[in-house]
Amino acid sequence: MKIKLQKGKQKELILLAKGDSTWKELAKKIGMGADYLNRDLKNERRLISEELYSKLSTITNRNFDRFIINKLDTFWGQSKGGLNSLGSTIKIRTPERSEKLAELIGIILGDGNINYYKKGKKIGVYQVNIAGDKNLDKEYHLNYISILFEELFGVKPKEKLPKDSNGRHIVVSSKQLVNFFISNGLNHGNKIKNQVTIPSWIKEKDSYLKACLRGLFDTDGSVYKLTNQNSHQICFTNYNNTLLKDVRKGLLSLGIGVSEITKGKDIVITKKSELRKFLNEVGFKNSRHLNKVKIWNLQSPIE
């Protein structure tokens, strides 16, 4: 979803978030290119996404909601005509609760969003949208997440590649699908504002919890080598404090040691024994993480 603010307010919010830092530092913090941030978003040539709006609001600790003129579907230019209808008629197969469903819910909690958009009093577009990096997440989106949707619901997501960013999206427009996820513990709309978290039915079974955590770490996780050290970290980053606490609690309940929350958005796994526990119990399916794990041989047996 895109956020349209009153003229000048998008620039004001971005400059407040930048403060004394450089454009490169701010861009790294919010996960986008410095040139695009400084040239296009600051100068209001493009609208900011709902996710970026939430991140900037968290950084600045300022509420700009009163300046919001409109909230538009990410692909509103392509789907305006669809807003005149009462909603998608795409039918889905209704799956039982399973590890695969728990994993997909973890993916949606990480990089996804479920929503419906109104025009006047009518609800027009019901949408499940999962975002990622145009190149790094291509294989994961097309060869893993899309297949999950097909296996669970009998629907094939559409791939969307916005021209104005390095992002990618896979999208399913279906009223039944949106209602299904809501009935299984997810909320529609802004995930940070609503403090959405892991549904209770997933927490009740370890195999479901592991699968959900895998989806979360595949989307909002990272694997990296510590500078000038022969050690590594797996990090989970999210600006939803409720979800952060739930993910940490979930890892601890599985016997996986993890840090306290740092910087208000991160939890990290550092000890080799805990890294291997995570990889053996939860693991990754996203090749951008799996390739690093293989290079560093992190999943070898504990000596």
- 143 Cβ neighbours under 8 A, 6+ residues apart: none
Q: Are residues 45 and 83 in the same domain?
A: no
Last residue of a domain, one of 165, 194, 223: 194
- pLDDT band of 67, cuts 50, 70, 90: confident
Structure tokens at 225: 């080598």
Give 77's pLDDT tier (boundaries 50, 70, 90). Answer: very low
Give 272 or 116, the one with higher predicted confidence: 272
Q: What does the alpha-carbon distance between residue 81 and residue 190 come to, in Å, rounded to a whole number? A: 24
Single-letter amino acid, residue 264: G
pTM of the model: 0.73
Quote the pLDDT of residue 78.
46
- Domain containing 214: what range? 200-295
Query: What value does the mean pLDDT take over residues 170-187?
Result: 91
Q: Looking at residue 110, which CATH number applies to its domain? A: 3.10.28.10
Chain position carrying tokens 């900037």: 56
Domain CATH code at residue 60: 1.10.260
Integer Rg of the chain from CA: 19
The verdict on residue 261 lying in a domain is yes
Q: Is residue 86 part of a domain?
A: yes
What is residue 303's predicted lDDT score, i.e. its pLDDT? 33
The mean pLDDT of the chain is 86
- Going by the DSSP 8-state scheme, the letter that residue 233 receives in this structure is E
Question: CB–CB of 56/17 below 8 Å?
Answer: yes
210 and 185 in one domain?
no
Q: Considering only CA atoms, which of 183, 102, 101 is closest in space to residue 149?
A: 101
**Average pLDDT of span 181-199:** 87
135-145 b/e with 16+ CB inside 10 Å = b?
Answer: eebbebbeebb
pLDDT of 89 reads: 62
Residue 205: band (very low, low, confident or very high) from pLDDT cuts 50, 70, 90? very high
Q: Looking at residue 82, what is its pLDDT?
A: 41
Residues 141 and 93 in one domain: yes
Residues 215 and 202: their CA atoms lie apart, in Å, by 12
CA dihedral 55, 59, 65, 67 (to 10 degrees): -110
Read off the tokens for 103: 């994993």
Stretch among 155-159, 161-165, 233-237 having the lowest mean pLDDT: 161-165
Q: Which two tokens mark 123?
A: 């609800």
Q: What percent of the chain has pLDDT over 70?
A: 89
Taking residues 86-100, report their average pLDDT. Answer: 81
* pLDDT band at residue 260 under the 50/70/90 scheme: very high
301 found inside a domain: no
- pLDDT given at position 124: 63
Task: Look up residue 35 and give its amino acid.
Answer: D
Same domain, 83 and 155: yes
Whether residue 175 sits in one domain with residue 210: no
Give the pairing of strands 2-5 and 68-72: antiparallel
* Domain shared by 282 and 251, yes or no: yes
Same domain, 181 and 208: no
pLDDT of residue 75: 52
pLDDT > 70? residue 121: no
> What gap in Å lies between CA 109 and CA 102, rounded to an integer?
10
User: Which range has the top average pLDDT, 16-20, 87-91, 149-153?
Assistant: 149-153
